[in-house]
Amino acid sequence: MREDTPSRTAQWVAAARGMGMLLPDDVRIADDPYGIAFASTRIQRLFEERRPALLAALPGLKHWIAYMQVRTRLLDDAVRNFVDAGGRQLVLLGAGFDCRALRMPELADAHVFEVDHPATQTHKIDTLERIGAHSPASYVTWDFETRPMDELPEALADAGHDAQVPTLTIWEGVTMYLTEAAIDASLRAVADYSCRGSQLAMTYQAKFEGQQPSLAARAVSFVVARLGEPFRWYWDPAQLPAYLEARGFALADDVGTPEAADKLLPPDLASTISRADHSRVALAERV
């Protein structure tokens, strides 16, 4: 990402999460009342002025909203299951403008740590202050590419994290932007601060050897590269269990966004997500 600019992809996914509010109540599967505050002023204005007509005016928007509904719901459910089982610590690795600490009442008794790049984190703090929202999260500033990840457990401990208590780490929309070295170091750091009973929920882009990426996948790669945040990392789903196992995690679940959409959304909305979409959500347990 660009050193001095808040993440543009974080801005976009937060906006798409917030625009879920355009969907009817009986279809919506995740709510983020804070997302729109992070959108560009042009999108915010369009949203406020044309709210009822926006989906019809921008056909491609429906895909993004549906995609973020599914991704958000799968990870929100991971949070709920963790909390139901007694979990009280969350680390949002590359938190961006994720406002789970604010928007999920289930987290009222949990301690949420948000780790992110200083440019993105500063913008988040300023934006929440501007709209008068007070997040209970603890902020830990980090650049995954330049600051040694083996220092992260200590930095979290300084912010109040207890490594003897189970932690759910959410690594949402981040792995695809990192180098392999940063991925490896990050996973080892997560394992280091995660005791038994901890979990890791993450999204990733799947690599399918010998298969041409779809037109939609190529378009997304092109756009994120233009925003200064190119895709750099893909996992082969068949190799993910061994990769995680070598770093202290057992894969418990791994689902493609299109298949999850078919289960969670009505067919007309699910079908806006291309069958060739290669994004996936995985859940792993610390062993």
Ligand X SMILES: C[S@@+](CC[C@H](N)C(=O)[O-])C[C@H]1O[C@@H](n2cnc3c(N)ncnc32)[C@H](O)[C@@H]1O
User: In a 10 Å sphere around its CB, with 0-12 CB exposed, 13-18 middle and 19+ buried, how is residue 190 labelled?
Assistant: buried
Q: What character string, x for contact with ligand X (CB under 6 A) and - otherwise, covers 246-265?
A: --------------------
| Residue 174 near ligand X by CB under 6 A | yes
| Residue 145 near ligand X by CB under 6 A | yes
Closest CA to 68 of 105, 28, 120: 28
Region at 173 (left for phi over 0; alpha for psi -120 to 50; beta for the rest): left
Among 34, 47, 64, 144, binds ligand X (CB under 6 A): 144
Angle between helices 59-84 and 257-264 (to 10 degrees): 80
**Nearest distance from C-beta of residue 213 to ligand X, angstroms:** 19
**Nearest distance from C-beta of residue 269 to ligand X, angstroms:** 20
Residue closer to ligand X, measured from CB, 10 or 36: 10
Q: Letter for the amino acid at 103? A: R
| Residue 1 near ligand X by CB under 6 A | yes
Sequence length of the chain is 287
Instruction: With contacts defined by CB under 6 A, name the span among 57-65, 139-147, 258-266, 278-286 that binds ligand X.
Output: 139-147
Closest CA to 110 of 71, 82, 133, 147: 82
**Nearest distance from C-beta of residue 26 to ligand X, angstroms:** 25
The contact set with ligand X (CB under 6 A) reads: 1, 7, 9-10, 13-14, 94-98, 116-117, 120, 142-145, 172-174, 177
